[in-house]
Amino acid sequence: MSDSISNLRKFVAPEIIFGVGARKTVGNFARNFGAQRVLIVTDPGVIAAGWVADVQDSLQEMDIDYRIFSAVSPNPRAEEVMAGAAFYNEEGCNLIVAVGGGSPMDCAKGIGIVSANRQHILTFEGVDRIHSPIPPLIFIPTTAGTSADVSQFAIISDQDSRMKISIISKAVVPDVSLIDPETTLTMTPFLTACTGIDAMVHAIEAFVSTASGPLTDMHALEAIRLVSGNLPALVDNPADIALREQLMLASLKAGLAFSNAILGAVHAMSHSLGGYLDLPHGLCNAILVERVIDYNYSHAEDRFRVVADTLGIQTKGRSNAQLRRQLVDNISQLKARVGLTQSLGQSGVSLADIPELSGKALTDPCILTNPRKSNQRDVEVVYEEAL
């Protein structure tokens, strides 16, 4: 009996509208939720790209009033969340639409939490700490990688402690995710590569996570296949909408996997790096991924064999030692192929930073589902190898 109980798995996901033009349905959904005044959370780059104008048009067609909050940094900060929540409440908004990459989406989640719960955002760190229901969230992702539009994670930077905090709760799963591949056409090849590798890391970490299960595995493996099969071609042909759609699908599937299976050491270490040095999240993941695979391999050999197989690596008759090497090489080659060859040292990390980075990584909730249990020295060694 106890075995069947321990195998229980839950799976949460938003209502998802997927395909070119999905963003233009936002007015309909806002009306269905009884929106009186919408807060659009975005950033200056997304406004410049023109995607917010489409949202404004759709809301205006439905005679729905809106306000715009765009003071959002690339790694959204606690004080930005607090300012956004104050603006939301002052303006009498009752629904939030996020348009952008992971940063505006995470900031929007934070604004929703604070506007309803009236406490500082940092007090919600950890798992299931949100008590009052938050306003409806409609998310329009403009990058293919972070998957904040389908996940139960919100990642917020605390500038004072130079840490990123993780808020994990079903409350921050958006009500509706309008996933429109067209919105990713304005991404640079570098951002396309970073977010694509981010989706790959989400999928691999979710598949080898100690909380994985049949509901998440199918999404994780499909995401691995989609990223490896399409990302190099997309970086070469950024205007190809069919390839954009494949990467958007990969990001969606990776998000459904990791939101429910959680992640592992790459993300724990990446959150620590991003909080400490304000580096792009996808780049942090890319720098660390193969080192963490190498570290974890012996504790999830059967799972990594399936990952290798999914990447098209010949696994029959290969020893685990051979496969470990090939898998690490394969990921390194994929990164090099899309132009992500930076080391931690080139990104501004020094040997002296590593003890502090490692200590912070060990407090991140993502470390709890990593297949190999880690102490501070283990984490330090992985960081050192990535220098």
pLDDT in tens, 138-164: 999 999 999 999 999 999 999 999 999
Cβ-count burial 83-92 (b if 16+ within 10 Å, e if not): bbbebbeeee
Task: Indicate the residue type of 229.
Answer: G
- Tell me what pLDDT residue 3 has: 47
Q: What is the DSSP string of 287-317?
A: HHHHHHHHHHGGGSHHHHHHHHHHTT---TT
Which CATH number do you get for residue 361?
A: 1.20.1090.10
Final residue belonging to a domain, choices 118, 153, 183: 183
Angle between helices 214-236 and 189-208 (to 10 degrees): 160
Q: Are residues 195 and 324 in the same domain?
A: yes
Cβ-count burial 330-340 (b if 16+ within 10 Å, e if not): bbeebbebbeb
Residues 27/178, Cβ–Cβ less than 8 Å: no
Which CATH number do you get for residue 132?
A: 3.40.50.1970
Per-residue pLDDT of the chain in tens (387 residues, 90 and over written 9): 444 446 788 999 999 999 999 999 999 999 999 999 999 999 999 999 999 999 999 999 999 999 999 999 999 999 999 999 999 999 999 999 999 999 999 999 999 999 999 999 999 999 999 999 999 999 999 999 999 999 999 999 999 999 999 999 999 999 999 999 999 999 999 999 999 999 999 999 999 999 999 999 999 999 999 999 999 999 999 999 999 999 999 999 999 999 999 999 999 999 999 999 998 999 999 999 999 999 999 999 999 999 999 999 999 999 999 999 999 999 999 999 999 999 999 999 999 999 999 999 999 999 999 999 999 999 999 999 999
Q: Are residues 169 and 204 in the same domain?
A: no
Task: Indicate the residue type of 36.
Answer: Q
Residue 347 to residue 195: CA distance in whole angstroms: 17
Q: Are residues 200 and 136 in the same domain?
A: no
Residues, the chain = 387
Final residue belonging to a domain, choices 133, 166, 183: 183
Q: Are residues 168 and 298 in the same domain?
A: no
Q: Are residues 177 and 192 in the same domain?
A: no
Q: Which residues pair with 97 in a beta bridge?
A: 40, 138
Residue 87 to residue 84: CA distance in whole angstroms: 5
Residue 37, helix vs strand vs coil: strand
Alpha-carbon distances, residue 351 vs 265, 356, 357, 358, 384 (angstroms): 19, 10, 10, 11, 7
Q: What is the distance between the terminal CA atoms of the chain, rounded to a whole angstrom?
A: 48
Strand pairing of 95-100 and 37-41? parallel
pTM comes to: 0.96
pLDDT in tens, 73-109: 999 999 999 999 999 999 999 999 999 999 999 999 9
- Tell me what pLDDT residue 6 has: 62
Residue 281 to residue 258: CA distance in whole angstroms: 16
Q: Are residues 173 and 307 in the same domain?
A: no
Final residue belonging to a domain, choices 183, 213, 244: 183
Tell me the pLDDT of the chain averaged across its residues.
96
Q: Which residues pair with 41 in a beta bridge?
A: 69, 98
Burial of 44 (0-12, 13-18, 19+ CB in 10 A): exposed
- Tell me what pLDDT residue 245 has: 98
Q: Are residues 301 and 159 in the same domain?
A: no
Residues 67/91, Cβ–Cβ less than 8 Å: yes
Quote the domain boundaries for residue 58.
2-183
Q: Are residues 268 and 358 in the same domain?
A: yes
Sign of the Cα pseudo-torsion (317, 323, 327, 330, in order)? negative
- Tell me what pLDDT residue 2 has: 44
Q: Are residues 152 and 197 in the same domain?
A: no
Q: What percent of the chain has pLDDT over 70?
A: 98
Burial of 71 (0-12, 13-18, 19+ CB in 10 A): middle
Q: Are residues 269 and 353 in the same domain?
A: yes
Residue 15 to residue 90: CA distance in whole angstroms: 29
Q: Are residues 74 and 179 in the same domain?
A: yes
Q: Which two tokens stand for residue 347?
A: 């990104």
Q: Are residues 174 and 254 in the same domain?
A: no
Residue 193 to residue 191: CA distance in whole angstroms: 5
- Tell me what pLDDT residue 231 has: 98
Q: Which of 308, 311, 287, 281 is nearest to 297 (CA)?
A: 308
Burial of 377 (0-12, 13-18, 19+ CB in 10 A): exposed
* Total domains in the fold of the chain: 2
